[in-house]
Structure 1
Amino acid sequence: MSKVVADVMDREPVAVRPDTPVTEVIRTLREHELQGVPVVDDEGRVVGIITESDLVIPDPQGDLHLPHFVELFGGVIFLEPLKRFEEKLRKAFAQTASDLMTPNPDTVRPDTPVEEAARLIHRTGHNRLPVVDSDGRLVGVVTRVDLLGALVS
Structure 2
Amino acid sequence: MCASVAPDRRGGKFMAHLIVLVLDNMTVLPTLLETWQSVGVPGVTILQSTGAYRTQKWLRRMGLGALDRLFESEETSRRTLLAAVEDDVVLERALAEAERLTGGFDHPESGLLLVLPVSRALGLHKSPKREMDMGAHEATHSGWLAWHNRSAADIAALFNLRPVVVRRDTVLDQIPQALMAQPDVQVVCVTSEDDVLVGLLTISDLANALLFYEVPEEFLSEVTDLEGVIEFVERSRVRTAADVMKPPVWVRQDDPVKLAFKRMRQHQLPGLPVVDEIYHIVGYISMLALLLAVCCQPHSPREQHGAE
Q: Same fold per TM (> 0.5)?
A: yes
**RMSD in angstroms over aligned alpha carbons?**
2.6
Summarize deviations over 1:39-60 as a string: whole Å, max 9, x none. Answer: 011221111111111123399x
8 Å contact from structure 1 (residues 133, 139) kept in 2: yes
| Cα drift, residue 8 of structure 1 | 1.3
| Cα drift, residue 85 of structure 1 | 5.6
8 Å contact from structure 1 (residues 8, 150) kept in 2: yes
Which whole-Å CA distance do the structure 1 matches of 2:182 and 2:233 have between them?
A: 28
**Correspondence 1:27-42 to 2 at 5 A:** 27-33=177-183, 34-42=185-193
Q: Which residue of 1 aligns with 2:250?
A: 107
Report the 3-state secondary structure (helix = DSSP H, G, I; strand = E; otherwise coil) of the residue aligned with 2:219: coil
Summarize deviations over 1:42-86 as a string: whole Å, max 9, x none. Answer: 221111111111123399x613358434xxxxxxxx4xxx2x665
Which of the residues 191, 201, 220 maps onto 1:64?
220
**Correspondence 1:55-134 to 2 at 5 A:** 55-57=206-208, 62-64=218-220, 67-69=223-225, 78=226, 82=227, 86-87=230-231, 89-102=233-246, 104-134=247-277
Which whole-Å CA distance do the structure 2 matches of 1:66 and 1:115 have between them?
A: 37
| Cα drift, residue 26 of structure 1 | 1.9
Percent of matched pairs sharing the same residue? 29
Report the 3-state secondary structure (helix = DSSP H, G, I; strand = E; otherwise coil) of the residue aligned with 1:44: coil
Q: Where in structure 1 do 4 or more consecutive aligned residues deviate above 6 Å?
A: none
**1:32–1:12 Cα change, 3 Å:** closer
Aligned: 1:15 with 2:171 = no
Count of aligned pairs between the two proteins? 139
**1:113–1:85 Cα change, 3 Å:** farther
8 Å contact from structure 1 (residues 36, 49) kept in 2: yes
8 Å contact from structure 1 (residues 128, 143) kept in 2: yes
Q: Which residue of 1 aligns with 2:174?
A: 24
Report the 3-state secondary structure (helix = DSSP H, G, I; strand = E; otherwise coil) of the residue aligned with 1:63: helix
8 Å contact from structure 1 (residues 66, 85) kept in 2: no
Query: Which residue identity does 1:4 align to in structure 2?
Result: S
Aligned: 1:5 with 2:149 = no
Answer 1 or 2: higher relative contact order, Cα 8 Å, separation at least 6: 1
8 Å contact from structure 2 (residues 223, 232) kept in 1: no
Structure number, greater radius of gyration:
2
TM-score normalised according to structure 2 size:
0.40
Q: Which residue of 2 aligns with 1:73?
A: none
